[in-house]
Amino acid sequence: MEVSNSEYDKKRFIHSLIFPAFFVFVVIMVKIIESGFDLDFTRLGIYPLEARGLKGILLSPMIHADYRHLMNNCIPLFILGVAVFYFYHTLGYRIFFLNYLMVGLWVWAGGRDAYHIGASGLVYGLASFLFFSGVIRNNMRLLAISLLVVFLYGSMIWGIFPIFPQVSWESHMLGSLSGLVLAIYFRKQGPMKTIYEWELEEEEEEGT
């Protein structure tokens, strides 16, 4: 039984919603539990170059200082996550979790002496991957996504500088670097450059 392109795209879109929605739900529930039981999970974050901070590599993206911090991360995390899983569906999980681990390890190795919490490093990593991957692949649809990322999250560039001492700018900077590295590493996998008929005709003429 053949499946039409529209049906396939619909199923692919629905599938791309599942994991980002689940991850964001878990992050929100962690904050609800923390505030509901009057707990403080800050010490489960990343503390660089100390054994007590290693657990934060896995746990820090789940922990947020307050509900404003939570929403500022969850909304772009969901949108960017859906974009990654939809356009790079064969690579989605690898991109997400490699970015997750790379940012955590790099912050642990090179961050300031403080607890680093929040999913912002992951957000920056996904935004950076989408932008640079679209540019590197020279695919019109992906370039459109790159421009959309710039339009929606272009102001995020200021987050990679040490402007606000209470903000983990290291997570932002290293997340951006992680996205770039992954875009280069996976440049030959997933959706490729769009080939137009006139380009094929030129190649045929050159070959004759």
The conformation of residue 65, written as its DSSP 8-state character, comes to: S
pLDDT of 28 reads 98
Quick check: helix, strand or coil at residue 116?
Answer: strand
How far is 187 from 164, CA to CA, in rounded Å? Answer: 34
The answer to whether the predicted template modeling score (pTM) of the entire model surpasses 0.75 is yes
64-to-28, 55, 60, 117 alpha-carbon distances in Å: 9, 15, 8, 6
How far is 77 from 61, CA to CA, in rounded Å? Answer: 11
CATH (one of 1.10.3720.10, 1.20.1540.10, 3.30.390.30, 1.10.10.10) for 5-207: 1.20.1540.10
**Helix, strand, coil % (nearest 5) of the chain?**
75, 0, 25
Domain regions of the chain by residue span: 5-207
User: Per-residue pLDDT for the chain (208 aa), expressed as one digit of tens each?
Assistant: 445 677 888 888 999 999 999 999 999 999 999 999 999 999 999 999 999 999 999 999 999 999 999 999 999 999 999 999 999 988 999 999 999 999 999 999 999 999 999 999 999 999 999 999 988 888 778 888 878 887 877 778 788 888 877 889 999 999 999 999 999 999 988 776 554 444 444 545 555 4
60, 46 contact by CB (below 8 A):
yes
140, 191 contact by CB (below 8 A):
no
The conformation of residue 66, written as its DSSP 8-state character, comes to: S
